[in-house]
A and B are shown apart, each in its own frame.
Chain A
Amino acid sequence: MTGYLRPATLADAVAAHAAHPDWMVLAGGTDLMVNANHRSAPPGIVDLCGCAELRGIVRDADTIRIAAGTTWLDIIGHEWVVAQVPILAAAAGEIGALQIQARGTIGGNIVTSSPVGDSLPVLLALDATLELASPRGRRDVPYRSFTTGYRTTVLAADELIAAITIPVPAAGTRLAWRKVGTRAAQSISKVMAAAAIHVEHGLISWARFGLGAVAERPIRAAAAEAAATGRPPDADTGRAVAVALADEIRPITDVRSAADYRLEVAQSLLMRFVINAGKLP
């Protein structure tokens, strides 16, 4: 490795990345450094950690905007996140340990786009939008359209993620999240599920289910969402959701878990989310 750039502004970061598309973009490094011993060194690094514009959380009436270089630690303790979208704070709180949370960033998690990325099912359930920046300008991409396959995304070679915008959930929205890992902490997920379930007049008016570690990328469970819509948040609806889910996901068996277990647990989690949504005031 010979090159190293540490841009101080987003504009400089975009320029540096566009000028050196083959350099590694470092946004914390907690994913990238894990494999540093197992692959050849990149020709250079564009280090985003010195870019103040890429860090911080702002809010308007309808959205919370999280700059892409914001660390998990910043997110875990942020009062708006905790108050409005607590499932994001909860997911962030189970990522690694304190040292990882202090370095790892939400934008890094999104670009790595691992099927087991801890924040990704939550972003699906919250219907987040990504703001992408390149020398060609800015564009907004809904997160649900961002991933295309195993660790692949629509991010162009000259683009960076600038920010993540999360709509403040409407009144009556129940949020839920659960990670099932290989142990109680500091683990890679076997199954993750996040949900935003909107209940009005005793019926589910809409639901968004985000799942991780059950497909080659984080996914929305559209059929399960449809099975919940228009029905009361109870055990019967939960069972219908589970049945629908079985038809739309095909988890795999790997060194961490088994296909049948992953399906069964994903079903149980969504069923529990639906039932719990009915218990809340």
Chain B
Amino acid sequence: MQTSSGGSVGRSIARVDGVAKVTGAARYLDDLDLSGVQHGITVRSTIAHGTFDGLDLDPAFDWTQVTVVTADTIGWGQGFAAGGFGANYIAMLDTDQPALVPSGGRIKHVDEPLALIAAPTRALALSARAHARPRQTALPAVLTVDDALRADIKLYQDDNVFKRFLIRKGHSDDDELEIAMAGAARIIEGRYETGAQEQMYIEPQAMAAWPEPGVMRIAGSMQCPYYVHKAMKVVLGCDADQVAVTQTVTGGGFGGKEEYPSMLAAHCVMLAAAIGGPVKMVYDRDEDIAATTKRHPARVHHRLGLRSDGSIAAIDVDVIMDGGAYLTLSPVVLSRGVLHAAGPYRCDVVRVRGRAVATNHPPHGAFRGFGAPQTTFAYERQIDKAARARGEAPWVYRDRHALRAGDTTATGQLLAASVGTDEIIAVIRDAAGPAPARDGTNRHGAPVKRGRGYAFYFHGAGFTGSGEQRLAGRATVLTRAGGRFEVLASSADMGQGSITIFTQIAADALGVPPTHVRVPDPATDAVPDSGPTVASRTCMVVGGLVERAARTLRARIEAWAAAAGVPGDLVAQAAAMIKAGTEAGAAGAAAQAAAEIDPHHGAIAETVQYEPPPGIHWDDTTYTGQAYPCYGWAGCLVDVEVDLDTREVALTRCVHAVDVGKAINPVIVQGQIEGGTVQALGWALLENIVYKDGKVANANMTNCIVPTFADVPDLETIIVECPYPFGPSGAKGVGEIPMDGPAAAVANALEDALGVGFDRLPVLPEDIARALRGGGS
């Protein structure tokens, strides 16, 4: 068997979708030519809490030109086969979020969908919406987590708590924790707040649906085709084969297209069913910012008990996240938040409590990092304060107390292989160089203060606990006549490069050049469910499935070729095998080949399912055990320069080292690190979602600020590779970890520069001005 020389894994082959994207040939949802498509738009609530009393249609408008759908015009409960629908909720973890609020129903946030309008042109749809007036009766709203916890107004069950977690390590009750804390020589205590953050993907939310005989087809911009599929089975009241979902070329997701596309899909199918033809909905930017999910705002109270030698005697963390109006994914976001909350530091006594609460904000949801950035900000501020209080160099202090192989995490997980602490500590130390001079002058002649900050952190790759086992993701590798290979997986490439790394992994496992491998767009009627494109799992978990399926397929073809005496490379052998298998009246080797042909695909296909690495134990009730199969490790150094005239912060340098196990494609990995770093730096210094009476007050790109290239510092990325034995070629996750730590490094650098602590994100120039006036941050 001939193999391609050296393989492609570890090499930065060009993105397989790169040319199409650069030349504009890539067709996003809004580019698709859907014959006769109508434009759908949404009538939304304008109050944060209250009742929907019905929709008034202005008689001055000619309503015969458009189609109007409300929850009351839908035949709920009749089922798709009977021409009706299923149930009026978006199936995620709970059933509390309606696709449309019915009249007489409760409005729980501003910009909640109340009705839908479709028209042959978008202009007409907009004009119709201007003449549609929802009647609403306002009730007092819950707009802070403190109000939510008081539960005078009940939004979710009796206590407004969507989910609670409690992690205990090294103690059995609160008294024992307090005894451990009381024994500490010094207690570092802080309260940290982080704000909502908008994903600001380049392509706004976009979806289309059209009915075909016996099946509703859906296509759109999304991360998780099977999430949409599951939700539409419920909304339509149909079987799995009566709805098909295809991911179209997707212009960014960052978590923002994890759960919300199910809402758009529900709206599209309601309109498409009412019209009997295709409907598309493409949000404009302002609507997207106002109505769709953002990172959970969080408040973290953190106590760190230090022994006299600086080691950590006890950690106590209390996390509260604002889940918004519906449960959506908040329990899972909170889970990841609490599982990371104690940080990658040695400590035998740990308590972590977490609550996600209901408010009348639009639901907060998935965003790169998924709860971990919020708690990472808290613990890395705490660790920095500990080092500062002891007069120790911050990176040396971290080196001394960080987790290594043989240590246990807060959940009691024994860290074995693939712990990158030593390498991360070393590469950041070696790259650091001299700290910038404290005082100086900038190009405006303004005096400046400079400082340097560090952060060290970890991020669990893959689903939490036994999630991957429950999910049982599958992937297929196959070959058809013609000698090309295809990877079938439901992972969505939203710009992060997954189809390129799948191509590389499959090509190497098959021993063919990457040009012989194709990864078609995921469609639920064509690819197996590999799970959602989330949780830094695509490369490690799904890439692992692709590798195993490709290896198995190769072995089958080679075994057949050996038995049949077919020479040549795998491509030739596969072609011969398919030819033999499809010849009529076959005997001998040909008959054996025929038996191996997958009738569903008309190809030789190999599908594999996730199998957990040996020795995984996780207890969902006590939150103990192996929280994640493995962790990525990272360190970040940031230099800042504060203009004392304007209180503006210039980031002059950022070094970010990330242990990814194995960089399948180093340029793509570098892109992931750079992009995540910039998103984190923006969250630290610029990005400030302003809620006013429950509404996003800055829902436009003029005022909802994200970084431009002019805000990006001199950025050095260092890829560290501590291989994970059960990942493809040793690869772990990379998507989320770069988002976790840079914000804390920025705040730590600001404290170094100014001698004032900043414990709330974003740190705006206005906050710095207030702090320097003595008003605190």
Cβ–Cβ contact B705 & A272, under 8 A? no
Interface hits, B729-777 → A, CB 8 Å: 765-766, 769-770, 773
Partner of A268, one of B646, B709, B773: B646
Counting chain B CB atoms within 10 Å of each CB, the highest count among A180, A184, A257, A275 belongs to A184
Q: Which residues of A contact B138 (CB under 8 A)?
A: none
A260 nearest CB across to chain B (Å):
7
A150 within 8 A of B: no
Cβ–Cβ contact B646 & A183, under 8 A? no
A28 nearest CB across to chain B (Å):
17
B444 within 8 A of A: yes
Cβ–Cβ contact B708 & A184, under 8 A? yes
Cβ–Cβ contact B765 & A261, under 8 A? yes
Interface hits, B51-105 → A, CB 8 Å: none
A188 to B645: give the CA distance in the assembly, Å: 19
Cβ–Cβ contact A279 & B445, under 8 A? yes
A37 within 8 A of B: yes
A87 within 8 A of B: no
Q: Which residues of B contact A260 (CB under 8 A)?
A: 766, 769-770
B446 nearest CB across to chain A (Å):
6
Chain A 244-281 interface mask (CB, 8 Å, partner B; 1/0): 00000000000111101100110011011001100100
Cβ–Cβ contact A269 & B645, under 8 A? yes
Cβ–Cβ contact A268 & B698, under 8 A? no
Interface hits, B683-712 → A, CB 8 Å: 686, 690, 697-698, 702-703, 705, 707-711
A104 nearest CB across to chain B (Å):
15
A58 within 8 A of B: no
A268 nearest CB across to chain B (Å):
4
Partner of B705, one of A187, A261, A269: A187
Cβ–Cβ contact A185 & B710, under 8 A? yes
Partner of B766, one of A185, A258, A272: A258
Cβ–Cβ contact A34 & B702, under 8 A? yes
Cβ–Cβ contact A183 & B708, under 8 A? yes
Measured CB to CB, the nearest residue on chain B to A180 is: B646
A279 to B444: give the CA distance in the assembly, Å: 12
A268 to B644: give the CA distance in the assembly, Å: 9
Q: Which residues of B contact A34 (CB under 8 A)?
A: 702
Q: Which residues of A contact B702 (CB under 8 A)?
A: 34, 188
B283 nearest CB across to chain A (Å):
12
Cβ–Cβ contact A261 & B703, under 8 A? no
The B contact surface, by secondary structure, is loop
Measured CB to CB, the nearest residue on chain A to B126 is: A37
Q: Which residues of B contact A184 (CB under 8 A)?
A: 650, 708, 710-711
Measured CB to CB, the nearest residue on chain A to B692 is: A255
- Residues A185 and B708 in contact in the complex (CB < 8 Å), given A261-B647, A264-B769: yes
- Residues A183 and B705 in contact in the complex (CB < 8 Å), given A257-B766, A261-B766: yes
Chain A 158-196 interface mask (CB, 8 Å, partner B; 1/0): 000000000000000000001010111111101100000
A170 nearest CB across to chain B (Å):
23
- Residues A183 and B703 in contact in the complex (CB < 8 Å), given A264-B769, A265-B646, A272-B444: no
Q: Which residues of B contact A191 (CB under 8 A)?
A: 646
Counting chain A CB atoms within 10 Å of each CB, the highest count among B444, B646, B690 belongs to B646
Cβ–Cβ contact A183 & B686, under 8 A? yes
- Residues A255 and B697 in contact in the complex (CB < 8 Å), given A184-B708, A261-B765, A261-B769: yes
B159 within 8 A of A: no
Q: Which residues of B contact A268 (CB under 8 A)?
A: 446, 644-646
Chain B 261-304 interface mask (CB, 8 Å, partner A; 1/0): 00000000000000000000000101000000000000000000
- Residues A183 and B707 in contact in the complex (CB < 8 Å), given A255-B690, A272-B445: yes
Cβ–Cβ contact B446 & A272, under 8 A? yes
A158 nearest CB across to chain B (Å):
31
Q: Which residues of A contact B647 (CB under 8 A)?
A: 261, 265
B648 within 8 A of A: yes
Cβ–Cβ contact B686 & A182, under 8 A? yes
Measured CB to CB, the nearest residue on chain A to B686 is: A183
A269 nearest CB across to chain B (Å):
6
Cβ–Cβ contact B646 & A276, under 8 A? no
- Residues A178 and B708 in contact in the complex (CB < 8 Å), given A261-B647, A268-B645: no
Q: Which residues of B contact A180 (CB under 8 A)?
A: 646, 648, 765
Q: Which residues of A contact B705 (CB under 8 A)?
A: 182-183, 187
A15 nearest CB across to chain B (Å):
31
A185 to B690: give the CA distance in the assembly, Å: 21
Measured CB to CB, the nearest residue on chain B to A187 is: B705
Cβ–Cβ contact A256 & B446, under 8 A? no
A256 to B647: give the CA distance in the assembly, Å: 15
Q: Which residues of A contact B770 (CB under 8 A)?
A: 260-261
A272 to B648: give the CA distance in the assembly, Å: 15
Cβ–Cβ contact A178 & B444, under 8 A? yes
B306 nearest CB across to chain A (Å):
37
B94 nearest CB across to chain A (Å):
33
Q: Which residues of B contact A276 (CB under 8 A)?
A: 445
Measured CB to CB, the nearest residue on chain B to A268 is: B645
Measured CB to CB, the nearest residue on chain A to B707 is: A183
A144 nearest CB across to chain B (Å):
25
Q: Which residues of A contact B773 (CB under 8 A)?
A: 264
A264 to B643: give the CA distance in the assembly, Å: 13
Chain B 708-727 interface mask (CB, 8 Å, partner A; 1/0): 11110000000000000000
A195 nearest CB across to chain B (Å):
13
Chain A 198-230 interface mask (CB, 8 Å, partner B; 1/0): 000000000000000000000000000000000
A271 to B711: give the CA distance in the assembly, Å: 26
Chain B 635-658 interface mask (CB, 8 Å, partner A; 1/0): 000000000111110100000000
Q: Which residues of A contact B646 (CB under 8 A)?
A: 178, 180, 191, 265, 268-269
Cβ–Cβ contact A275 & B445, under 8 A? yes
Partner of A185, one of B445, B644, B703, B711: B711
A21 nearest CB across to chain B (Å):
26
A258 to B697: give the CA distance in the assembly, Å: 15
Partner of B698, one of A37, A255, A258, A275: A255
Q: Which residues of B contact A265 (CB under 8 A)?
A: 645-647, 765, 769
Cβ–Cβ contact B707 & A272, under 8 A? no
A191 to B395: give the CA distance in the assembly, Å: 38
- Residues A183 and B710 in contact in the complex (CB < 8 Å), given A188-B703, A261-B766: yes
A190 nearest CB across to chain B (Å):
8
B123 nearest CB across to chain A (Å):
9
A186 to B707: give the CA distance in the assembly, Å: 10
Cβ–Cβ contact A37 & B284, under 8 A? yes
10 A-B pairs with C-beta separation under 8 A: A37-B286, A182-B686, A184-B650, A184-B710, A185-B709, A260-B770, A264-B769, A264-B773, A268-B645, A268-B646
Q: Which residues of B contact A (CB under 8 A)?
A: 284, 286, 444-446, 644-648, 650, 686, 690, 697-698, 702-703, 705, 707-711, 765-766, 769-770, 773
Sample of 20 more A-B contacts, CB < 8 Å, known A178-B646, A258-B766, A276-B445: A34-B702, A37-B284, A37-B286, A182-B703, A183-B711, A184-B650, A184-B710, A186-B710, A191-B646, A255-B690, A255-B697, A260-B770, A261-B766, A264-B769, A265-B645, A269-B645, A269-B646, A272-B446, A272-B645, A279-B445
Going nearest first, the 7 A-B pairs with the smallest beta carbon separation are A185-B710, A184-B710, A268-B645, A261-B766, A184-B711, A258-B766, A182-B705
